[in-house]
Structure 1
Amino acid sequence: MLKKGIIFVFIVTIMTLLSVLGLLYFKPYEHQNIASDYVQNRVNIVIEDIALKSDYSIIDNDKIYIPVEIIKKYLNSDIVLDKADNRLYLEIRNPVFKLETEKLDNMIRDGIKLNFLTVNIDDKQYLNIRGLEKIFDIDVNYIKETNTLIIDRIKKTIKLGEIKSNAYLRPKKSSFSFVMDKLHTGDKVVVFEECGKWYKVRTQKGYIGYVLNKVIDVKTEEVDINRKINNVRRNVKVNGKINLVWDYVYKYSKDLSKENKIEGLNVISPTWFSINSNGYIINNGDFDYVNQAHKKGYKVWALIDNQFNRDLTRQFLKSKQMQENLIKQLAVYSSIYDLDGINIDFENVYYEDKDKLTEFVRRLTDTLKQQNIIISMDMTVPSTNPNWSKFYDRKKLGKILDYCIVMTYDEHWATSPKSGSVASIRWVMKGIENSLKYIPKEKLIMGLPFYTRQWEEYKDSRGKIKVKSKVLTMKDVERIIKENNLEVIWLEDVGQYYTEYFKEGKKYRIWIEDDKSIELKAKLIYRYNLAGIASWRKGFEKESIWAVLNNIVEANNKDISLSIVKFNGLN
């Protein structure tokens, strides 16, 4: 008997020692090292009562990246991943999330198609889940203390427990298993199931294990579920003149948190959406981009284009189903990304589709106005070209839309047979005046170019002068002038500086856009009392341009308008 007692004491001592060692050294969700720029941001994943010990999420500022394979396995098995395009497709047949109004909810009741960009990290596809929680019907909570991301499916009820007296959390239903963590009186836990004399629980640190049921009080609580993504917008209008810049996004948006606020800029328009023939809008939206833009005081009017493809546009305008899909998707994306506006950029459309386009814009505007967001549309200056200009029914569109943005640039376009300015002052004025015949001045926004073109002129084999061009940013022009030691002259009637040079038997000509030419054009918003200016595109400008535009949009209307009644001989 004595020998058995000694053995029992020895076993208890060893188990206690192991428990203490476990408490001191055990790390519940240890990860393997990975070679990645994000290695320092890797985070443990817990999905309800499952600790994913071999997988991790990545938190980068306000972005939470989850492996797509984990989303498909645990959250939504219907997703389709296009690895080549870094894109996740999701068709939701019975959406449980809510939009801003009941009418919008009814619109998507029969289903919605959505897609989101993924990123490739260490040859694995990840989705930024931030902003998409209600799309996937989940709650997400990051526990900094244990570097753990907890994901819970949204439920009507939840079992909660309160620890009655100090206890141990163990990985198995046995008092002989080692101790994962020590729980104290009053600690709260989530309870998942009862297993004999044990409860399976998750602690506030995100640890999952078992606690004796005698040390815990359990109760079921009703959860106040809010599946509404967003609310009807407030304060979406810009006070004073609009100063918009288009931000060209090929696929992934820039990190605005790393940029200084641009004084005077009040609207930014990322080029995020395009129509497609597969029933999905191509979506390059970014929740964090909008969040950062709003912190800087910018409104966000996301742009949707028609890929400037007239045949695709004709197919789209013929199909009520395609249009309905687009309108539903834009309504959902506007909610997800908390957009203040949508900017429609449909160019190169068959003249015969003019009425269909106008009707589509009306339907889209009627729907998105339920969210109280601003709708604008880009238009060329009026001309006789049927498929580039005449397909815009400016008079009707001017009544439907909040704003019409007239692209008063590309006077001489990329494939122009003749060299010339992108936006000479007289041509810009004529474009505005002709547009005002159809569009109310308080709805007209004037487009400005932050770019110019370098024209290369040469003679072909027959001695005929041929022309080709390439786009230059303002910094490109400064570099060319410096490298070639060029002189510039001011062209009074054009409202721009000009330079030219010869190289290898070819003549190069540049009509320059700079502070002076942009200021001259921008002041026209007071001459014609327009709603504001819109500039193509962010990144093409010199930094000094923003001070020029800020001085104009913030100027006293009366003072500046009086100063330009006559300028450069223009009446």
Structure 2
Amino acid sequence: MKKKSHSIFAVLALALVIAAAIVVFALIRKYTPSKEHEDLTTYYHLTNSDEVAIVLNNEVTSSKARVIDGHIYIDYDFVHDNLNSRFYWDNNENILLYATTQNLISAQAEQTSYMVTKSSADYGRKIVTINSDTAYIDLDFVKEYSDFKYKHVKDPHRIIITSQWGKYQTATAKKNASLRVRGGIKSPILKKVSSKEEVTVIEQGDNWDKVMTDDGIIGYMQKRMLSSVKEKTRKSDFTPDTFAHIKKDYNICMAWHQVTNQSANNAVSSVLANTRGINVLSPTWFYLNDNNGNIANLASLNYVNYCHNQGIEVWALVSNLENKNVDTTEVLTHTSKRQNLVNQIVSMAIQYNLDGINVDFESMNGEKVGDAFIEFIRELSIKCKNNGVVLSVDNYVPMSHTSFYNRKEQANFADYVVIMGYDEHYAGSPEAGSVASLSWVTQGVSDTLKEVPADQVILGMPFYTRVWEIPSESSSDDTAAGAKIPSKIYGMKAANDFLATHGATKTWQDDCGQNYSEFTDNDTTYKVWLEDSASAECRLKLVEEKKLAGASFWKLGFETSDIWDTVTRYIH
């Protein structure tokens, strides 16, 4: 029995020893830091030897640059979206463009030479190369015109780009330590950080801090291995382009004069005789007339001379609306066609001694043409400035779907940005409403001023009213679901005469800043938000209050004579 007892105790003791060993081994395994190293090629998601990882402002991006003949080339989309949106790539004609305040830089793909306006220069290597339909631009070429710094590190290739300036945090390793993929001692090691090596602190945690090393490796270090965080400041050494503008030392009082044929130019004297205070006239003379960028011309030198004799400048309007067979996107997205359009506009300005050009491009597909449109404005601006021609650009009231007009960039190149403060409700609107309620216009001005300096903003105002005709069978919500409400445009006098004929009364509405009238006749309800001198005064007060550059009016011939007394009280 004793032998059996001893055997049992021996087995139990051995089991206890083994269990203790297992526990000890588990504890050692749990608390012993991993020595596994993460492969940096995998970490940066590099698959080819010529690929270059991009670390932008303390973040590893999904984009990849390329090493070509020992130089870094970075894809156009990354450049445009992250480094400098002023670069424009024409993938139809394989040409890279960059506009400064005075010059247009252009480089054809696979070429070492490039143009600075009309002068040729040699870069010494390809500026742009194409691979699998992607345009790659030499990073040093991009840097010449852009506000960023970069560092290239090999094995594996990566570039560390900094484009954000100001305060940032750093810490120093107290002794040799491991930088790991994630917080935790079992996470793979990315790099051994040497004692006294400085790292950028991206995010502080309780026990682990997220940091980036000088060679662009981002991971986690134990907080106890780092010195106290210090604050430093990064400064840019880039000198940005300084944009000059042709601006008047007086408030702009502009009116659009609709000219649909040559003979209409002969009416300029009688049209102006009915106005007061106008210092700029914008006749609708030019429009895009084919898909090669050629324009139709209704201009008259006699018209210009007459205006100049009256002390009035002429800023001729160029539009894309008249010829419905023209594809605006086709013209603007092909450099040769777009520049043909630019050259024709400037040629007309010189030929007819114009003081300015007013661009009115509407109804465009922003997704397809947005970047090309703003490039058109840049290129036109350079040539207008070189010839002393004022450039103004008409814009919708800011909405999310019109953001592609890029008013902020327009303000860099164009001299004036015009808000078309009308057509809040328009032909085909699903509901009746004001052409330009005061609250809507006020919001439009406020949103525009977030992007454009006040002394470059001209507020466009309507001289017309819409009379809405709502059939009796329509619902109380103005019309049946999905239907469009019929409406007709009336000038100021015609709208008042219409109301007088029907014996309708008017009531002032403070929220709209307009007189309103509603009546029913022959089973049709009419709703009218009137444009008159009272509504115009509300908007002119806004011009004065916000210190805008001036006002413009669509269109001459729709106004009543008393409107000019109101205009001249506010526009000096």
TM class, shorter-length: 0.5 to 0.7
Distance in 1 separating the partners of 2:452 and 2:494: 36
1:345 and 2:360 correspond: yes
Partner of 1:333: 348
AA partner of residue 503 (structure 1) = D
Partner of 1:486: 504
Distance in 1 separating the partners of 2:473 and 2:370: 40
Match of 1:273 among 286, 289, 294: 286
Distance in 1 separating the partners of 2:269 and 2:509: 40
Give the Å deviation of 1:515: 0.8
Q: CA 1:281/1:492 → structure 2, altered by over 3 Å: closer, same or farther? A: same
Partner of 1:244: 254
Match of 2:299 among 267, 280, 285: 285
Paired residues of 1:450 and 1:537 also in contact (CA < 8 A): yes
Partner of 1:527: 545
Give the Å deviation of 1:427: 0.9
1:497 and 2:490 correspond: no
Distance in 2 separating the partners of 1:550 and 1:238: 17
Q: Report 1:429-508 matches (<5 A).
A: 429-459=442-472, 465=480, 467-508=485-526
Q: CA 1:242/1:271 → structure 2, altered by over 3 Å: closer, same or farther? A: same
Give the Å deviation of 1:239: 3.3
Q: Residue 374 of structure 2 aligns to a residue in which SS?
A: helix
Partner of 2:318: 304
After superposition, the C-alpha distances for 1:299-351 in whole angstroms (9 at most, x for unaligned) are 10000011176971111112222222212211221112110000000111111
Q: Residue 304 of structure 1 aligns to a residue in which SS?
A: strand
Distance in 2 separating the partners of 1:331 and 1:494: 40
AA partner of residue 256 (structure 1) = V
Paired residues of 2:396 and 2:421 also in contact (CA < 8 A): yes
After superposition, the C-alpha distances for 1:520-567 in whole angstroms (9 at most, x for unaligned) are 11111121111010111111100111111011112xxxxxxxxxxxxx
Q: Report 1:125-524 matches (<5 A).
A: 237-252=247-262, 253-258=265-270, 259-260=272-273, 262-277=275-290, 279=292, 280-307=294-321, 312-352=327-367, 353-385=369-401, 389-459=402-472, 465=480, 467-524=485-542
Ranges in structure 1 where 5+ consecutive residues have no aligned partner: 1-102, 109-234, 555-571
Q: CA 1:236/1:364 → structure 2, altered by over 3 Å: closer, same or farther? A: closer
Q: CA 1:311/1:437 → structure 2, altered by over 3 Å: closer, same or farther? A: farther
AA partner of residue 430 (structure 1) = Q
Paired residues of 2:289 and 2:326 also in contact (CA < 8 A): no
AA partner of residue 436 (structure 1) = L
After superposition, the C-alpha distances for 1:7-46 in whole angstroms (9 at most, x for unaligned) are xxxxxxxxxxxxxxxxxxxxxxxxxxxxxxxxxxxxxxxx
Q: Which range moved further: 473-482 or 456-465?
A: 456-465
Distance in 2 separating the partners of 1:458 and 1:314: 39
Paired residues of 1:238 and 1:266 also in contact (CA < 8 A): no
Paired residues of 2:342 and 2:376 also in contact (CA < 8 A): no
Give the Å deviation of 1:262: 3.0
After superposition, the C-alpha distances for 1:267-294 in whole angstroms (9 at most, x for unaligned) are 0000111112254211111111111111
Aligned residues: 322
Q: CA 1:446/1:461 → structure 2, altered by over 3 Å: closer, same or farther? A: closer
Q: CA 1:357/1:272 → structure 2, altered by over 3 Å: closer, same or farther? A: same
Q: Residue 412 of structure 1 aligns to a residue in which SS?
A: coil
Distance in 1 separating the partners of 2:259 and 2:247: 24
Distance in 2 separating the partners of 1:400 and 1:425: 29
Q: Residue 273 of structure 2 aligns to a residue in which SS?
A: coil
Distance in 2 separating the partners of 1:322 and 1:547: 45
Ranges in structure 2 where 5+ consecutive residues have no aligned partner: 1-103, 105-116, 119-244
AA partner of residue 445 (structure 2) = I
Give the Å deviation of 1:499: 0.8
Partner of 2:80: none
Give the Å deviation of 1:236: 7.6
Partner of 2:554: 536
Paired residues of 1:344 and 1:378 also in contact (CA < 8 A): yes
Distance in 2 separating the partners of 1:254 and 1:423: 32
Distance in 2 separating the partners of 1:359 and 1:256: 34
Partner of 2:19: none
Paired residues of 1:395 and 1:438 also in contact (CA < 8 A): yes
Q: Residue 406 of structure 1 aligns to a residue in which SS?
A: strand
After superposition, the C-alpha distances for 1:41-89 in whole angstroms (9 at most, x for unaligned) are xxxxxxxxxxxxxxxxxxxxxxxxxxxxxxxxxxxxxxxxxxxxxxxxx
Between the aligned residues of both structures, percent identity stands at 36
Q: Which range moved further: 259-268 or 312-321?
A: 259-268
Q: CA 1:312/1:485 → structure 2, altered by over 3 Å: closer, same or farther? A: same
TM-score calculated relative to the size of structure 2: 0.54
AA partner of residue 259 (structure 2) = V
Q: Residue 327 of structure 2 aligns to a residue in which SS?
A: helix
Give the Å deviation of 1:360: 1.1
Q: Residue 485 of structure 1 aligns to a residue in which SS?
A: coil
Q: Residue 390 of structure 1 aligns to a residue in which SS?
A: helix
Paired residues of 1:261 and 1:296 also in contact (CA < 8 A): no
Paired residues of 1:327 and 1:364 also in contact (CA < 8 A): yes
Distance in 1 separating the partners of 2:345 and 2:379: 12
Distance in 2 separating the partners of 1:420 and 1:277: 36
TM-score calculated relative to the size of structure 1: 0.54
AA partner of residue 535 (structure 1) = F
Distance in 2 separating the partners of 1:420 and 1:254: 36
Distance in 2 separating the partners of 1:462 and 1:505: 13
Give the Å deviation of 1:492: 1.4
Partner of 1:9: none
Paired residues of 2:467 and 2:488 also in contact (CA < 8 A): yes
Give the Å deviation of 1:460: 5.0
Q: CA 1:462/1:409 → structure 2, altered by over 3 Å: closer, same or farther? A: closer
Distance in 1 separating the partners of 2:539 and 2:330: 38
Give the Å deviation of 1:254: 3.8
Paired residues of 2:421 and 2:436 also in contact (CA < 8 A): yes
Distance in 2 separating the partners of 1:248 and 1:382: 25
Paired residues of 1:274 and 1:305 also in contact (CA < 8 A): yes
Distance in 2 separating the partners of 1:263 and 1:528: 23
After superposition, the C-alpha distances for 1:359-380 in whole angstroms (9 at most, x for unaligned) are 1110111012111110000000
AA partner of residue 281 (structure 1) = I
AA partner of residue 462 (structure 2) = P
After superposition, the C-alpha distances for 1:394-417 in whole angstroms (9 at most, x for unaligned) are 111111110000111111111111
Give the Å deviation of 1:459: 4.6
Return the index of the structure with the highest Cα Rg.
Answer: 2
